[in-house]
Amino acid sequence: MKQTGVGIIGPGAWASVSHIPAIAASPSFDLRAVSTSRRSSAEAAEARYGVPGYDDHNDLINHPGVDLVVVAVQVTQHFELISAALEAGKMVYSEWPLANGLAEAERLAELARRAGVRTVVGLQGRYAPEVQHARDLVRDGYVGEVLGTTLVGSGMVWGAVAKRSQAYWFDNTNGATPLTSATLHALDPVHFVLGEFDKVAANLVVARKETTIAEDGTRIPVTVADQVALIGTLTSGAAASVFYRGGASRGENLRWEINGSDGDLVVTSDWGNMQVAQLTLAGGRGADATATTIEVPASYSDGIPADLAGTPAGGVARLYAQLARDLADGARTVPDFAHALNRHRLIDAAERSSATGIAQSL
C-alpha cells in the first residue's frame, strides 16, 4: 500500500515527541520534509530526521512527495500556513486550535470545503482507549440513563511560573488559552461520549494577573482567563458542568464523572491535559458501593506500539491510524476542519456568555 508522504511545518518541541514518533511507527505514513522559520534550525532538523529541511514553508508545501502538510506551530501562524497548503491542494493536519478566533476558523473551513481536500484537526483525546471504552459502556447501558456529567481539570500551563517559551500562552490575543486549549481538548472527548451541548453558560475569570518567567524572574501580564467555568445541558437532556483552572492542583488534576440512573463512570489522571494524559477508567453500578478500576480490553489499543502508548505520541498515533483507515476506506471519521469550526463556535458561545451573563444556544 502506498504510503502517505508527510511534511511537518514546525518540527519542534511538540512535533518531535508526538508526530514524528507516530509517523515513524506507522506503516501508512512516511516523513518526507520539515520546515522551520530559520535556516539554521532547518538544517539541524534536516540532519536529525534525514529529510529535506526548509526555511520557507512554501518549499515544503510544493515538495512533490508531500501529500499531507502538518501545521504544528503557534496558533497565530495557522491561518497563513494552512491557507497556503489548501491553495496548493494538499491535505492538511492542523494542531488544535485550528485558528485564532471564530472568523479565521470560518474562513479556513470554507477554504477547505472549496479545495475539496481532506483535513484533520489535532483533537486526539477521543481516541484514548479509556474514552473509547467509556463511550461503548454508556451506549451499552452501563450507567443507565445519563443524568449528568462533571469534569474538573488543570491546564498545567498558566500557573505562577512559566518557561520563556510558554510566555505567549498568557496573552489572550495569541489564541492559545485555558479555554481554547486545555478545556476544549477535554470537552471534545466529553461530547464524543455523551453528545453535544444544546445550551451553555460560562464564567471566564482572569484570576492570576501576572506570572513569573522561570529563566530570569521577570514578570509578565496575564490576559487569558485562567479560571474557566462552563455549565449547560446536552442534547440528550443531561446536565453538564466543566471547570478548568490554570496551573496544577495539589489535589486531582483531572476527574471526569458520568452519572446515570443505574451507575457511574469515572475517568481520572494525575495530568490535566486529557489529550496527552494517562487515564484511568473506573466504574460502579447497581449494588456497588464504590467505583473500581475497569480494565480496558486490549482491542482498544488500536495496534499502537507499547513504547508509544504511554507518551505524548500515543494519542497522535491513534489519530494517524484512524486517518489511515479513512484514506483506505474512503471514509471521513476523523475530526476535520468542519468539526473544528463547530468547536470554535462553542468557544465563541462561551466567550459571549461570559461577557453578557446570558446562556447561549448552540
**Looking at the chain, which residues constitute the CATH 3.40.50.720 domain(s)?**
4-124+316-336
pLDDT digits (tens, 9 = 90+) for 21-60: 999 999 999 999 999 999 999 999 999 999 999 999 999 9
User: What local confidence, expressed as pLDDT, does residue 342 receive?
Assistant: 98
Percent of residues, the chain, with pLDDT higher than 90: 97
- Region 145-158 average pLDDT: 98
pLDDT range class, residue 1, cuts 50, 70, 90 = low
Specify the pLDDT at position 359: 97
Q: For the CA atoms of the chain, what is the radius of gyration?
A: 20
What pTM did the predictor assign? 0.96
Q: Are 223 and 178 in contact (CB under 8 A)?
A: no
| Percentage with pLDDT > 70 across the chain | 100
All CATH 3.30.360.10 domain ranges of the chain, comma separated, are: 127-296+343-356
Q: Which amino acid is at 169?
A: W
Mean local confidence (pLDDT), 127-156: 98
- Average pLDDT (206-219) is 97
CATH number of 4-124+316-336: 3.40.50.720
pLDDT above 70 for 271:
yes
Please give the grid coordinates belonging to residue 180: 481554547
Q: What does DSSP assign to residue 300?
A: G
- Strands 68-71 and 53-54, bridge-based pairing: unpaired
Q: Tens digits of per-residue pLDDT, 343-362?
A: 999 999 999 999 999 999 99
What confidence tier does 219 reach under pLDDT thresholds 50, 70, 90? very high
Please check the confidence at residue 84 and state whether its pLDDT lies above 90: yes
| DSSP E strand boundaries for the chain | 4-9, 29-35, 53-54, 68-71, 91-94, 119-121, 146-154, 161-162, 197-205, 210-213, 219-221, 227-234, 239-245, 254-260, 263-269, 280-285, 292-293, 360-361
Work out the pLDDT band at 295, boundaries 50, 70, 90. Answer: very high
At residue 126, the pLDDT reads 98
Q: Measured between alpha carbons, how far is 299 from 93 in angstroms, rounded to an integer?
A: 26
Distance CA 55, CA 67 (A): 19
Q: What is the DSSP letter of 214?
A: T
Q: How far is CA 166 from the centre of its chain?
A: 17
Mean pLDDT of 65-80: 98
Tell me what pLDDT residue 189 has. Answer: 98
pLDDT digits (tens, 9 = 90+) for 243-264: 999 999 999 999 999 999 999 9
pLDDT at 302: 83
Pick the CATH number of 127-296+343-356 from 1.20.1260.10, 3.30.360.10, 3.40.30.10, 3.30.460.80: 3.30.360.10
Q: What is the per-residue pLDDT for 300? A: 93
- Residue 200 predicted with pLDDT over 70: yes
Task: For residues 270 and 250, give the distance between their C-alpha atoms in angstroms, rounded to a whole number.
Answer: 10
CB 123 within 8 Å of CB 185:
yes
| pLDDT score recorded for residue 310 | 85
Confidence of residue 303 (pLDDT cuts 50, 70, 90): confident
Per-residue model confidence (pLDDT) at position 188: 98
pLDDT band at 301 (very low <50, low <70, confident <90, very high): confident
What is the number of other CB atoms lying within 10 angstroms of the CB of residue 76? 16
Average pLDDT for 188-209: 98
Confidence at residue 128, expressed as pLDDT on a 0 to 100 scale: 97
The span from the CA of 315 to the CA of 313, in Å, is: 6
For the chain, the average pLDDT equals 97
